Each structure stands twice: as C-alpha cells, then as structure tokens.
Structure 1
Amino acid sequence: MTTGIAFIGTGFVADYYMTTLANHPGLALAGVFDRDPARLRQFCGHWKAKAYPDVAALLADPAVAIVVNLTTPESHYPVNRAALTAGKHVYCEKPLAMEVAEAAELVALAAARGLVLASAPANALSDAHAHCAALLASGVIGTPRLAYAEMEDGPVFRDNWRSWKSRSGAPWPGVHEFEIGCTLEHAGYATGWLVSLFGPVDHVAAFSALTFPDKGPGTEGLRLAPDFSTGCLSFRSGLTARLTCGLAAPRDRSLTIVGDGGVLVVRDLWDNRSAIHVERWGTRKPLLHRVFERLQRSLGRTFPLRLTAGRAVPYPEKARPIALPAYPSRIDFVRGIAAQAEAIAAGRAPVFSGTMALHLTDIVLALNAGLADHRPTSL
C-alpha cells in the first residue's frame, strides 16, 4: 500500500526531495504545484511529474494524503493552515511558522481534525543519529553534560552562489536566504538532534546579529536578517548546550558531546552516515594524535590542521545503498515523510510532529531573535 503525497513549492530544495523519494517505495508523488508557472514547468519537465493548475486542485485531489510544504518560510503558516483545513496531513519544511502563536494554532488545528502535522528536517532520522543514540545509551562517555553544536555554513555570500543550480535548474535563493536568515534555515538541523537525544529545552539564552550587512550586488537596500546567532540551551535532563549558526565562519556542522566519562564527536550533521568519534577519559590517544601533539610542542607552534578527538567507531551494519544529494547535503530528505506515513498507518504520532515540532520552532525563533531569556513551549 502506498501513500500519496504532493509538493507545494518546486524551488531549490524540492530537488533534494525528488532525489531521495526513490528510497521510499511506500510513497507515491501524485503531483506538484508552484506559484511560478515557468518554474513549475521546468520542474515537471525534468522529473516527469504531474502539475496541478492551482493549490485548490491539489488539495481537492483524493489521491493526496500528505501535503509536503516546500514553500518559503513566510508562506509556511498559510499553506499549512489551508492544507489542514482541507483535511490533509502536512509535512512542512522548517519552521512551522514565523510566529510561535501561529505554529501553536497549526498544532491545535491538526489535533482537532485528527490529522498529523510533521516537520523537517529529517537529518535527525539518519543512520548517524541512530548510531550516536546507541553509543550514548551504551554509556561509552558516561552521563552527557555538555554539547557544542555548530551550524556554520561558511562565507557563502563571498562565493559564486548566483551560479548555483539544483538538478532541475532552480537557482539557489541566496537573496531570500539572506533576508530570512541562516538561523531559521539551518538551526533546526542541530536542534532536532539535540532535543531528540536529550529531551525538551527549558531555557534559551540567545544573541543574534547582522555581522556582514554587505552581501554583494543585488542585496543593496534590502532588510537582511541576522547572519550570526549563538544560544545556550538548558535541557530538562540537565544537559547544557551551545548552538552557533552563521554565514561567515569556515564551514562546520559538527556536534561535540562531553560526558563525565569521555567525549563523542559527530563530524557532520548533514551526512546520513557521518563519522562518529569517541574518546574515553584516561585511555591512550591514537598514535597520530600523540605524534601530532608532540610535534606541536617540540616546534612551539600550532599546525593549521585539526584532528577529531578519539577514534572513529564503526557502524554496526553496512550502509544501505540509497540515493542522497551531493555533498554537502547528504541527507535523506524524504525519510521524515516516510516516517510520518508509517506513523499515520500505525495510528501513532511520528517523532517530529505536534508539540515536538512546535517546541523546535519556538527554540529556533528564539535563537533567530536573539532572545536573552526565553522559556519555550514545553513538551
């Protein structure tokens, strides 16, 4: 039995979903819609997808069980609301809405209508996440006390981003991303991991700023969002985390978890099977690390190279052959929709639905706004 889905929005990210749709034969794409007719034709021509004439036709199609909202963030709330009102389950790209009250309204509407509202990103459903969770559960680093999450995208505004195209030819929406901000676009990739591993956040102390107001030609006079944010998150479980997002520092999408027995490092939260390193306190460091540190001490200088702490821990099983977008977005984007469809069939809620999606949205909005003393909606 397959579950029918439909996309609203066929921009840059939609190609990531089409690339990974093949990994989930239990899902069937009924069709797509985009408010840009040229973009819609281009997407459908490339992927041989059915185009709906308008949103109303898509929402009226009985073959569609789940509407996948891939529109821009400021359109998430009205599109989600229209789909839920039409009786469709919804899977939304992050965030659920641009205001916490609107996100809460959507969650209440879905619950009242017996529908499942779920949220991206799906990287917290990755093989790497499962491997990390199993290692933490084994007690290999003892009780986790502290985490450092990095969502640094590198100085993309200094790169040749105007030439970047998706598989079907959609341009990377750089100007719009600068207006929305890297925190709303990317912090969810880290918060999804953190909350699913360590539980709900009780307190957020954040700061955000527009550090590079000149993003180059085509951005003059625009109202640009913060391109840097950092926040300290206090978890109900007792763990403390620091999350940083930015568009200027060198690319780094790692997660470091420090426990009372050692440290665990996930090298790349955007990699479905990222290398995961573990170093237990008091154990002998790898030979390369020992030689590296000895050379630095003897020469009296720091080398322009950083080694990941500890040793890589092999995955317990071989990698399944699946389709993934090219580096750096090695994420199975459709895994979240598949998990939602499985949960609907089983009559249960998926991990990132309802109050969890609202909780994550609240945290990310607080980080983006730089709220210094915020208590997000509880789980």
Structure 2
Amino acid sequence: MTGIAFVGTGFVADYYMTTLANHPQLRLVGVFDRDAARLDAFSRYWKVPSYASLEEALADPAVSIVVNLTTPESHYTVNRAALSAGRHVYCEKPLAMTVEEASELADLAKARGLVLAGAPANGLSDAQALCARLLSEGAIGTPRLVYAEMEDGPVFKANWRAWRSRSGAAWPGVHEFEVGCTLEHAGYATSWLVSLFGPVAEVSAVSALTFPDKGPGTETLALGPDFSVGCLAFRSGVTARVTCGLAAPRDRSLTIIGDAGMIVVRDLWDNRSPIHVEAFGTRRPLIHRGLDWLEWKLGRKLPLRIYPGARARYPKAEALVTLPAFPSQIDFVRGIAAQAEAIERGEAPFFSGATARHLTEVVLALNSGWRNYRPLDL
C-alpha cells in the first residue's frame, strides 16, 4: 500500500476524496492546508489526520507521494519542497506558472530519481482508452484534424458564490477568474491530445479578457484571460484547434476527423463518455436522414444536436467506479494510482517528467496567446 498526503484541502480536494475509494492500494496518511479553518473542516468531514505544517507532512516517513492540490501560484514552491524532501509528487495542473520553473522541477525530479506527475486524470479515462483503441484499429483511417472544445458556459453569471464542496469549501471563483480558464481547463483537452497524437511541435494562440466585469467584488481585480483559441501542430502530422472559454454554452467535446471517417467524444469530463464513430461513405442512420429531411422541409435548423455515426461499445467495466456528480465525472485519483503502480514497477507513468512539463508548456502558451511558439524538445 502506498502512503499519500494531500497538501491543499480546498474545493478540488473533495473530488479526490470522492474517488479515493476506487483505489484501495492507496492510503491517505494525512492532509495539510495553510488555512487552519478549512483544514479543520476537511479533516473532520472526511475523518482524516491533519498535519500542523507543510514541513511535518514532508517529514512523515509514511508518505511516499505528495499530492499538491494548492493554488496554481503555489504549485512550484510546494513541488520543489516535496521533491527536495525526497518525496514523489503528483500535482494539479499546471506544474508551475512558467516554463523555466516547470523545467527546473522536471530536472530536479530526474536528478533525485523521483517521479513528478501531473493532472488531469481524465487522460487516463475509460473514454480515452476506447478512443485510442478505435484509432489504433483504423476506425477512421489516418487522423488529420481535431477540434477540442473546453467551454464551461457563463459561470460568472451564475450564483457561483453559493457553490460548496462536500466538506464545505467555497468554489474559488474570484481566484479562477484571476488565473484564467485556460490554465484551469485546457489540460483536460491537451492531455488527451498528447496521449493520442504525441508531442506538439508548434503552438499559435490568441487569448483575451473578453468579459472584464465578473460581478460585484471583481471590478478592481487583475483578471486573467477568459477566452483562448490555439492551433497545435503535432509532430505526427495532426493539426488541432483547442478553444477554452467562460461564455459560450457548455461544450467539452472532442472531434477527430480522419481520411476515412470521424470520432466524436461527447464530454472529456465523463469517464465513460458516449463516443460516436462515423465511417465516410456509409449509409447514415435513419434518424439522422429523417432529421435532415425535416430540416430541409421546414427550411430551418432544429434545436437538436445529433451526433454522427453509431455509438461505440465499451468493454464491460471490471468494477463499479465512484465518481463525482455531473459535470466532473472524472476519477481524479486514477493518476495517482497509475503513478504509484509505475513507481512500484520501477517505471515512469506517461503523464510524468518531461511529458508533464510539455503539457504545462503547451497550456502556458495557450493562456498567454503565444504565436508560432515551439515547445522544448520532448
């Protein structure tokens, strides 16, 4: 059994606790947060031990992996401290706020023989595995073009100040608006893309703060971009467009177009999202042809979204998996479990080291709107 410790007990930590039960090979030794009230509420709700300081958590010999769930601006400092203390690290996205810091962390982990891995874990989902299998089987021929959507809807117009996690932590809306939706969400798309198509050779992006008024209390804050769109050129020859935003209707779909067909993943936040496959040149299902005929007859588009092709079938699940409620139906702890298993085998998990740094670099390029940016060699 692998001992882990959480550093940070805010909103996202409850997602990790919800899915920890899926991985009995992991044992939560203790938790720490610099906010004493939040730490107390979390440890009482989940009935887990707490540490009096970060130093105490890092010195605990029962801890093998430190799980960094702090705010993005604190990721580098906590990651470096944990690695320096001889602990493996699993970090929420991004690894750091600059490419230089992310590279330093990856180098430090390598030099010390430690594993530095990064979220998000949706890149290890059942949906990703099914999509990868379809591609390897040639279901759509050679993939050429990808559209990845990471739109969360106009959350700043919702009653987000009332949102609470299971242990009572408030959703950090103001902080998310300051950091920007791309740093918070682009990783959910790029983790899939890099796992399916390999490293990114070039990024060309545009980002902007399109809605500077996020409501009372945000007027004087320095807010981050709430929109970005980037074109990723992969070394494998695939071209992808990634869009992140906080205004357009919720859409977390992925469309992969090959020379023989297309695959559509409805929701990258769903562990077993419906996946549709359409081979070009085949007869379309009756319902699709009927709706097309009806739209031509009426002379207008109907308010329906019909996914092309037929739904792909998942293999039978080996066991029931506990997931957070919609929309965050991700096994958040699966990445930590994969890291622990790889360490046990003396291997490096996929989303670790240089790959974790590469993903951080791509997301930073998207968030900052870098043009014609070439990531470091991977």
Give the alignment's TM-score, normalised by structure 1: 0.99
CA contact (8 A) 1:211 1:227 kept: yes
2:364 matched to which residue of 1? Answer: 365
Separation in 2, partners of 1:73, 1:286: 46
2:155 matched to which residue of 1? Answer: 156
Separation in 1, partners of 2:58, 2:281: 59
Amino acid at match of 1:327: F
2:97 matched to which residue of 1? Answer: 98
Which structure 2 residues correspond to residues 177-326 of structure 1 after superposition, within 5 A? 177-318=176-317, 320-326=319-325
Amino acid at match of 2:91: C
Q: Deviations over 1:138-173 (max 9, x none)?
A: 101000000000000000000111111001000000
Separation in 2, partners of 1:320, 1:314: 17
Question: 1:320, CA displacement in angstroms?
Answer: 2.8
Please tell me whether residue 12 in structure 1 is matched to residue 15 in structure 2: no
Amino acid at match of 1:5: I
Separation in 2, partners of 1:68, 1:34: 12
Q: Helix, strand or coil: the match of 1:149?
A: strand
Question: 1:318, CA displacement in angstroms?
Answer: 3.6
Q: Deviations over 1:231-267 (max 9, x none)?
A: 0000000000000000000000000000000000000
Q: Deviations over 1:277-331 (max 9, x none)?
A: 0000000111111111000001111111121111111112246311100000000
1:117 matched to which residue of 2? Answer: 116
Separation in 2, partners of 1:95, 1:41: 26
Amino acid at match of 2:163: W
Separation in 2, partners of 1:99, 1:110: 17
CA contact (8 A) 1:358 1:377 kept: no
Which structure 2 residues correspond to residues 64-143 of structure 1 after superposition, within 5 A? 64-143=63-142
Amino acid at match of 1:159: A
Amino acid at match of 1:120: A
Worse overlay, 67-76 or 310-319: 310-319
Between the two proteins, the alignment pairs up a number of residues equal to 378
CA contact (8 A) 1:279 1:309 kept: yes
Ranges of 4+ aligned residues in structure 1 off by more than 6 Å:
none
Separation in 2, partners of 1:307, 1:320: 31
Separation in 2, partners of 1:377, 1:265: 30
Q: Deviations over 1:327-375 (max 9, x none)?
A: 0000000000000000000000000000000100000000000011100
2:338 matched to which residue of 1? Answer: 339
Q: Helix, strand or coil: the match of 1:131?
A: helix
Q: Helix, strand or coil: the match of 1:171?
A: coil
Separation in 2, partners of 1:302, 1:74: 45
Q: Helix, strand or coil: the match of 1:253?
A: coil
2:328 matched to which residue of 1? Answer: 329
Q: Helix, strand or coil: the match of 1:5?
A: strand
Separation in 1, partners of 2:56, 2:319: 37
1:54 matched to which residue of 2? Answer: 53
Separation in 1, partners of 2:280, 2:319: 33
Question: 1:107, CA displacement in angstroms?
Answer: 0.4
Amino acid at match of 1:342: E
Gaps of 5+ in 2: none
Q: Deviations over 1:84-118 (max 9, x none)?
A: 00000000000000000000000000011110000
Measured on the aligned residues, the alpha-carbon RMSD in Å equals: 0.6
Separation in 1, partners of 2:155, 2:65: 34
Separation in 2, partners of 1:144, 1:336: 26
Q: Helix, strand or coil: the match of 2:15?
A: helix
1:145 matched to which residue of 2? Answer: 144
Separation in 1, partners of 2:151, 2:41: 32
Q: Deviations over 1:170-202 (max 9, x none)?
A: 000000000000000000000000000000000
Q: Helix, strand or coil: the match of 1:265?
A: strand
Separation in 2, partners of 1:124, 1:109: 25
